[in-house]
Structure 1
Amino acid sequence: MDFSTPIENIPRVGPVMRKRLRTLGIKTVLDLLFYFPSRYEDFSNLIPISDVKINEVCTVQGRILEIKTTRTWKRKMFITEAIIEDKTGAIKSTWFGQPYLSKILKKDDPVFISGKVVVGNNEAYLSNPIYEKTYSQADDIETINSNKLTHTGRIIPIYSEAKGLSSRWLRSNLKFILASSNGKLPETLPEKIIAEQKLLDINRALWEIHFPSSFEKVGKAKERFSFEELFYIELFVLRERAKLNKEKAHSIPFNLDLIKELVSLLPFRLTDGQRKSAYQILKDIEKSRPMNRLLQGDVGSGKTVVAAIAALNAIKAGRQAAFMAPTEILAKQHFQEIAKLLGNFNLNIGLLTGKQDQFRSKKLKNDIVEISRKKLLEKTLKAEIDILIGTHALIQDKVKFGKLGLVILDEQHRFGVEQRAKLVRGSKLIPHLLSMTATPIPRTLALTIYGDLDLSLIDELPKGRKKIITEVVEPEDRTKTYGFIKREVENGRQIFVICPRIEKPDAEKEYLSGWSEAKAVKEEYEKLSKTIFPALKVGILHGKMTSKEKEKTMLDFKNKKIQILVSTSVVEVGIDVPNATVMMIEGAERFGLAQLHQFRGRVGRGEYQSYCLLFTDSSSQKTKQRLKALITCENGFQLAEKDLEIRGPGDFSGTRQWGIPDLMMDSLKDIRLVEKTREIAKEILIEDPYLKKYPILQAKISRFRESIHME
C-alpha cells in the first residue's frame, strides 16, 4: 500500500466522508494512521452471560433471540431492545435513539456485545452497548481470539470525532489499512536508537496504539511516538543553531548614551523585565555571530518599546532594521507607534504592505505621506530608509536592503537562515533576529521547539495597570450582562464581542463541522444591532472582509465611531484600543487558553477597570477546569504552565496554537524525556553533523522542516 495515497482512494470513502475526514486534518492514508485515539475503553472482560454483575463493564457473546424498536410517547425517543442468549443464559441490551439498529441486527445473528450492566424496572440489562456481528458461533468463550475483534471483547480505541464520522468507522478502516499494509510502513528511527532505547518499531507501535493487546503496550506505543516527536524537534533545532553559529553578522556596538537618551524621553518608566530584555538584546547584537532571540512578554507588557530600543541602536550604528508583522492592521499600528517612540531621532521610516505604502521622513518630522512602491524600494536599497515595517511583503524578491542589520518579527517565531538571507541578497553577512511573542508558551515547550532561540522574558506589566476581572457567565445571566454592557457604553467605554465563526453554516456544512451551536459573527451582529442595542453603534469585523474594510472598521472603533465591535478571532493579536473595557467571548470552549488570554489582553490597556466575560454551552469538566484557570492565573506564563498541566492527550483545546501534536504535548510534562531526546540528538550531531550515516534522519528532517512554520 502506498501510504501517501489520498484518503478517498480507500474503500468506503466517498466525497462526503472525504470532507468529514478533512475537518480532522486527514488527507492521506498516512494521516489516518497517525490520527491517534484520545482514550480507550476496556471491553476485554469476556464472560458467560450467567456471570454478569451489576455495574460491571463486560463483553458477552451469543445470538439474538429477538430485537425490536419502539418509540416512547412522552419524549418521542426511539428505544431498541434485543435479547442476547448464550448456553448459560440470556440478557437484554437496550439502545436509546438508534432505531437503525433493528435493521442491522437480525434474529439469530451471532454477536458480541460490550458495555456496562445496569438495573432498570427490576431487571439487569446492557445500556447502550457496542455491538459486533460475527459470522460463526464459538462453542466456548475461552477459545475466542480477541485480536480478530475490532469493536468489542478487547481494549478499544475512542477517537475525537466529527459529525458523521464515528470511532466505529475509524476503527474499521484503520484495522483494514494496518492489515493491508502488512508491516510495510518504512521505519522513521534508526535501528540503533530503537535498540538502545528499547522502543517498539513503527509498525508494532501503530498496531498497539490503535488496537492494543494491553494497557502496558499502549504506554509503550505512546513512549515510542512521544520520543520520536521530541527527538526530531531537538535534532532540528540543534542543527538550526549549529548552522547559524557558522554564519557571520555585523557587530553593532552598544551605544549606552543613545539608549539613555531614548529612555529619558519615554513618557513612562521601563519595567525591570523591559530593561533586562533590552540589555540582553543589545549585548547579543554586539557579537559578530547572528542573534537569534525570542522575546516573550504578556499582552501589553511593552515588547514594542524593547524592539524600538534595539532598532535605534542598530540604525545609529549605520545599519537598517526590518520589522515584520502578521497582518496589515498590525503593520500600520507598529508603523505609527515606532514613528511616535523614535520621533526625536530624525529617522526615515517606511511602511510596506500588500496594498498601501507610506513614508515618514525625518524632514517631514511627524507627517506621514503616501509613497509609490518603486520609490520606497529604491530608498530601501540605497539605505535611505532606516526602518522598513511591513507584512510578508518584506520578503518578496523585489525588496532589497542596502545595510540591513536587524530583523524584528511580531508573532512569527520561525524565520531561518535562508529567510534572513533573502533580505540581504548578495551579502555574506546575516542580520540579527529578534522574534516577539505574546503567546503564552510553557517553559518546557519553549526550550524544546524554540531550543535554537535564546529567550528573553518580560514577566510583568507596566505599573498602574488594573487587573482584568474575568468571569464565566451563566446562560441565565445573559440579560443582566447586556444591561452591564449598556451601562459601560453610557459611561463612554467600548466593547468587544468575540464569536467563533463568521456566519451560520448551511445544513451540510453544519452537519460536517459539528459547530451547529457555535455563535456566528453575522448572526450575532444582526441580533445585537437590531434587537439588543438598537440605539448603539455596533460594528462587525471578520477575516472575509477586505484589508481596507478591516482597517476602516478598526479605525472607526479606535476613534469611538463604533461602540460595540462584534468580531471573529481576527482581533486576537495586537490591536490597541485603550478605551475598550469589556471583552465578551461567545463559545469560549471553542478557543484555546492562549487564544482566550490574547482576547482578554485587548482590554485593560487604559486607565479604566476592564472585564472579560466568558460564555459557554459546554458542561464538560475539562472546559470548566480550563476556564477556571483563565480566571485564577494572573499572567500568560502561569496560564501556559496550567494549560500544559490540565491538557490531556487528544484534547482539542488549543494545541494548534503551538502547531504540535497532542501526544507530544502530553510528553512535555516529562522533563526527563525532553532532556534525554536532546542528549541523544546532540550525540548524533557531534558524531555526524551532516547525518551522512543516517539517511533516515536526513529524509525525516527535510520533511519535518517543511511541516514547521517557516516564514
Structure 2
Amino acid sequence: MVDSAPPIPPAPTLPDWTRLQRSLAVEAERGFSDLEGKEFRFSQFLKQSLETSAVPFLKPDEQERWQQTAARFEKYSELPLNKRQHLVAETRRLLYHAQQDYRRVIEPESAPKPKQPKTTSLETKNREITLDQELTYLPGVGPKSADKLAKLGLYSVRDILFYYPRDHIDYARQVKIADLEVGETVTLVATVRRCNCFSSPKNSKLTIFDLTIRDATGQIKLNRFFAGNRFRSRGWQEGQKRLYPPGAIVAASGLVKSSKYGITLDNPDIEVLDHSGGEIDSLTVGRVVPIYPLTEGVQPALVRRAVIAALPAAKKLKEPLPEALLNSHNLVGIGDAIANIHFPENSTALDRARRRLIFDEFFYLQLGLLLRRQQQRQTQQSNPLSARGELVERFYDVLPFQFTDAQQRVVKEILTDIESPEPMNRLVQGDVGAGKTVVAVVALLAAIQSGYQTALMAPTEVLAEQHYRKLVEWFNQLHLPVELLTGSTKAAKRREIASQLETGELPLLVGTHALIEDKVQFQSLGLVVIDEQHRFGVQQRARLQQKGQHPHVLTMTATPIPRTLALTLHGDLDVSQIDELPPGRQAIQTTMLTPKDRTHAYDLIRREVAMGRQVYVVLPLVEESEKLDLKSAISEHERLQNTVFPNFKVGLLHGRMKSAEKDAEISRFRDGEMQVIVSTTVIEVGVDIPNATVMLIEHAERFGLSQLHQLRGRVGRGAHQSFCLLMNSSKNETAKQRLKVMEQSQDGFWISEMDMRFRGPGEVMGTRQSGLPDLALASLVDDQEALELARDAAEKAIAQDPTLERWPLMRTELEQRYQRLMGGAIFT
C-alpha cells in the first residue's frame, strides 16, 4: 500500500496592503477602540493577517519585527489608550516600509508587464484623488517623499488634509519699499540692481547671498545665509548670481526687520517673475503661507507640496453638521474649511476656516461631555436624601455667623440635587476663604440625617487634618462622631475605624488617599466630598465612589478657574460658584519688591511679630540647586534664624519631612511656639492660622499666579490687617507684569483668567493630571466665545434628539472624535 502524500499547506499570501492600511486608518479615526467588524475584531484581523502574510523580501531582523508586531495585537484590547495609539502608528510605518521594499524587490522580478503609454503631466495633475489613497500616488510626492511624511504619521490623503498648520504667515499684502514697517510680513515686487554670493571672510563654512532690489520708491538690500561645505562651491555661488541678473523682476516675501544696514526682510523667500505684473507661482511668495509642525528630515516645502496635491480630495468630504446648524452659526462647509485652513484665498477665508474647525473641536467635545452626563443620570440610580431635618437645622443654630447670599445659593443647588434619585455630580468653586467647607457640611449632615455614611477626601495630610479639626469642632456640638484616616494612622486605630464603618456607627470619615484602600469598607455610603479634586486622578476618585452604590458626589476646589476651562474640564459636571467673600474680610495688602527692598520687608516682619503676629516665608526649593540661582528653604531657614531674626523662633516646613514631623511643626506654629516659619509650597492649601499676617514669597516670579493666590490666602484669615510681599528676582518684563496682577486684584477667578493668558491652561492646571483634551486648533485662552457657542449648540442638539440618530453623520463624527480625545465609546 502506497502511503498518501502529506497535505500541502496553503501557500501564504502576500499582504493585502490596501485593506490592512485602511483598517489601521479606520481604527485610528474611531479612537483606537478595537472595532468590531463583520467577522473579527480589529485586533484579531490584524494579528491573523500579519501572521499569514508572506514577506520573504524582508531581512531576518525585519521578519522578526513583523512577527513580534503580529503577536502584540493578541492583547491589543487590554492596552491603555496611548499604547494602542503607538502600536497602530508603528504598524502603519511597518506596512508602509514593507510595501516599499516589495515594490523595489518583488515587482521587477515578476513577469514583464505590457508597456504602458507615458502619462502626461496634465493627466497626472487631473488624476482623481480619493481620501483613502496613499500619499505615494499623489502627483509630485512619490515613494521617497511619502517615506518622509510617514515620520509625521501621515500615510493617506485624509491624514494630510486633517494635518492642520500650527500657524500662518501672511505674505499676500504687496507694498512699496518706502512703505515698509518693522514687524509686518509683506511681499515686494522690484527690480534687481545687483546680486553677489560669496563665502564669509570670518567663517569659511558660511555662504552669504546678497541681493539689492529697487522699485519706484526706494532701494533695499536682502541677505540669505547658507551653512555647509556644498555652498562654498564657486560653481554654486555663480549659479545663484545667474538666477538673479541685474534688471530681473523678483517678488520677495518676509518679515520686515531693522538691521545695522537699515530695513530689510528676514530670510526672505524670493521668486523671479516674467515681468512686473507676472503671476507668482511659489508656494510661499506673495500668499498666506501655512506653517506645519515638522520633525527631523522633513522640510516644510515637502508638506506644502503634498497638501497642495491632496486638496482636490477635500471636495469629497461629507458634511457631518446639519445645514440648519451651519446657517445659524454662519459656518462654512467642511470642504471649504479644510481647503482654506491650508492655503487660504485670503486672510478672511483663513479666519472663516479657523472658526469652523475650532467650532468643530469644541462642539464635539461638549457634545460628548453632555451625553456622558446624560447617560450617567439615566443609568445610575442613587438614594434620594432628605434636605430638611433636625441635624441641618441644629447646625444652622450653632454657627456663629450667617451664610452669604452666594453660600445660600450654592446650598440650595446642592440640596435640590441630593433630593433626586439621580446621583449628584457637582463641583463647587470658591475663592480662598469663601466658605466652601461649611457649605459641604450641610450636604454631609443631610446625608447623615437620611441614614447614610459620608466621606471627605483631601489630597494631603495637612489639608485632611485641617478639615478634621473644623469638623470635630462642629460635630461635637451636634453629638456626632468623626474620625481621621491617613497614611500616619496607627494600625490599632485603623482597625477601630474599619469596625465602626462596617457596623455603620461612624457617620463621617475624613482622610487622604487612605480612604480608597481595599480594607476601608462602608456599610452604606451615601455622599462623597472630594476637596481639591484636580489633585486626584480619575481612577482615585472613582475608587472612592465605588465604596457605595452610586453615592452623591460633591467636589470642591479653592483654585478658581475661568468658565471656559470649567466647561472643558468639567463639562459633565454641574458647576456652582461661591463668588462672594464673608463680610468683614480685609483685603490683603500685596506689594511686589526687589532684593534691594529686602530691608523694608524685614522691618515689616519685625513690627508684626512685635505686635504678637506670625509670619510665613515661602521658597520654591527644599535644597540648593547647582543649576538654579535660587534660595533654598533649608539654607534660608538657617540664615534667618542665625543672622536676620536671632531673637525669634524660626521653624522649617517642607515636603520631604515625614507626615508626623510636618504635623508637629504646623502644630507648634499654630500654638504660637514660633514666630516665623520657612516653608515650601506644602502650605499652599489647608493651613489655617488666623494669627499669621505676613506672607513673604521669595522668587515669586517662579510661581504661577493661581499658586501665588493660594499662598496669599494663608494670611488674612483673622481680624488683623495682613500683608503679602512678592520678592521678584527677575528683570524680565513679563514676570513683572504677572506680579502686577497680584497687586491689582484679590479676585481668584480674574487672577486665574490672567494666569491662563500668561502661561496657558495646561500649565495652570498642571500638565500631568490636567485632563485637558488635545485640541489641534482651538485655544482655551483665545477662543472662549467659540466654546460658549459650541456649548450652546451642543445643548440644543441633545435637547432635540438625545441619541443624535436623526443626524447619522454627526453621530459618527462624534464617536470618532470622542474615542480620540477621551478614550472609550460614547454610544454603547
Select 2:604's aligned residue among 469, 472, 484: 484
Q: Is the 8 A contact 2:391 2:478 kept in 1?
A: no
AA matched with 1:215: S
1:467 alignment counterpart? 587
AA matched with 1:669: E
Judged with a 3 Å threshold, the aligned counterparts in structure 2 of structure 1 residues 599 and 36 are, in CA distance, closer, same or farther, namely farther
2:12 alignment counterpart? none
1:512 alignment counterpart? none
Shift of 1:457: 3.4
Alpha-carbon distance in 2 for matches of 1:319, 1:389: 15
Matched, 1:114 2:254: yes
AA matched with 2:470: E
Select 1:458's aligned residue among 578, 581, 586: 578
AA matched with 2:384: S
AA matched with 1:596: L
Superposed counterparts of 1:546-695, under 5 Å? 546-561=658-673, 563-616=675-728, 626-640=738-752, 647=757, 654=764, 656=766, 660=772, 663-670=779-786, 671-683=788-800, 685-688=802-805, 694-695=811-812
1:74 alignment counterpart? none
Shift of 1:489: 3.7
1:401 alignment counterpart? 522
SS at 1:330 equivalent: helix
Alpha-carbon distance in 1 for matches of 2:153, 2:633: 35
RMSD, aligned CA:
5.2
1:192 alignment counterpart? 320
Matched, 1:240 2:372: yes
1:298 alignment counterpart? 431
Select 1:266's aligned residue among 387, 399, 411: 399
Q: Is the 8 A contact 1:226 1:664 kept in 2?
A: no
SS at 2:320 equivalent: helix
Q: Is the 8 A contact 2:363 2:790 kept in 1?
A: no
Q: Is the 8 A contact 2:697 2:727 kept in 1?
A: yes
Q: Is the 8 A contact 2:619 2:698 kept in 1?
A: yes
Q: Is the 8 A contact 2:294 2:300 kept in 1?
A: no
Q: State the TM-score, normalized to the length of structure 1.
A: 0.73
Judged with a 3 Å threshold, the aligned counterparts in structure 2 of structure 1 residues 82 and 434 are, in CA distance, closer, same or farther, namely same
Shift of 1:43: 4.4
Matched, 1:131 2:263: no
Q: Is the 8 A contact 1:319 1:404 kept in 2?
A: yes
Alpha-carbon distance in 2 for matches of 1:464, 1:100: 68
Judged with a 3 Å threshold, the aligned counterparts in structure 2 of structure 1 residues 517 and 398 are, in CA distance, closer, same or farther, namely same
SS at 1:342 equivalent: helix
| Deviation string, structure 1 residues 455-487 (Cα, Å, up to 9, x no partner) | 433333233221111223355434433433343
Judged with a 3 Å threshold, the aligned counterparts in structure 2 of structure 1 residues 47 and 310 are, in CA distance, closer, same or farther, namely closer
| Deviation string, structure 1 residues 320-342 (Cα, Å, up to 9, x no partner) | 00111122221122122211121
Superposed counterparts of 1:138-149, under 5 Å? 144-147=280-283, 149=284
Q: Is the 8 A contact 2:693 2:723 kept in 1?
A: yes
1:333 alignment counterpart? 466
Alpha-carbon distance in 2 for matches of 1:458, 1:385: 30
Matched, 1:287 2:417: no
Give 5+ residue unaligned stretches, structure 2: 1-20, 29-84, 94-150, 245-251
Shift of 1:146: 4.0
Q: State the TM-score, normalized to the length of structure 2.
A: 0.63
Shift of 1:406: 0.8
Alpha-carbon distance in 1 for matches of 2:526, 2:730: 50
Superposed counterparts of 1:492-503, under 5 Å? 492-500=612-620
SS at 1:323 equivalent: strand
| Deviation string, structure 1 residues 252-296 (Cα, Å, up to 9, x no partner) | 223443323222223444333333433432343233322222222
SS at 1:664 equivalent: coil
Judged with a 3 Å threshold, the aligned counterparts in structure 2 of structure 1 residues 643 and 377 are, in CA distance, closer, same or farther, namely same
Q: Is the 8 A contact 1:301 1:460 kept in 2?
A: yes
AA matched with 1:379: Q
AA matched with 2:782: D
Higher deviation after alignment, 318-327 or 381-390 = 381-390
Q: Is the 8 A contact 2:704 2:755 kept in 1?
A: no
Higher deviation after alignment, 225-234 or 315-324 = 225-234
Shift of 1:319: 0.7
SS at 1:687 equivalent: coil
Alpha-carbon distance in 2 for matches of 1:651, 1:578: 32
Judged with a 3 Å threshold, the aligned counterparts in structure 2 of structure 1 residues 283 and 674 are, in CA distance, closer, same or farther, namely closer
Shift of 1:420: 7.7
Shift of 1:539: 4.8
User: Rg bigger for which structure?
Assistant: 2
SS at 1:253 equivalent: coil
Structure with the larger helix share: 2
Shift of 1:551: 3.8
SS at 2:391 equivalent: helix
Shift of 1:416: 12
AA matched with 2:554: L
Judged with a 3 Å threshold, the aligned counterparts in structure 2 of structure 1 residues 186 and 155 are, in CA distance, closer, same or farther, namely closer
Superposed counterparts of 1:23-172, under 5 Å? 37=166, 42-44=170-172, 53=180, 55=182, 57-58=185-186, 64-66=196-198, 68=200, 83-85=210-212, 91-92=220-221, 114-118=254-258, 124-126=262-264, 130-131=266-267, 144-147=280-283, 149=284, 155=288
Judged with a 3 Å threshold, the aligned counterparts in structure 2 of structure 1 residues 673 and 649 are, in CA distance, closer, same or farther, namely farther
| Deviation string, structure 1 residues 280-314 (Cα, Å, up to 9, x no partner) | 32343233322222222221122112212221232
Give 5+ residue unaligned stretches, structure 1: 12-26, 72-78, 160-166, 359-369, 508-515
Select 1:228's aligned residue among 348, 360, 368: 360
Judged with a 3 Å threshold, the aligned counterparts in structure 2 of structure 1 residues 104 and 702 are, in CA distance, closer, same or farther, namely same
| Deviation string, structure 1 residues 567-598 (Cα, Å, up to 9, x no partner) | 44443333222222222334545544433322
SS at 1:249 equivalent: coil
How many equivalent pairs are there?
A: 641
Alpha-carbon distance in 1 for matches of 2:715, 2:527: 31
Select 2:387's aligned residue among 254, 257, 260: 254
Shift of 1:374: 4.0
Alpha-carbon distance in 2 for matches of 1:94, 1:531: 59
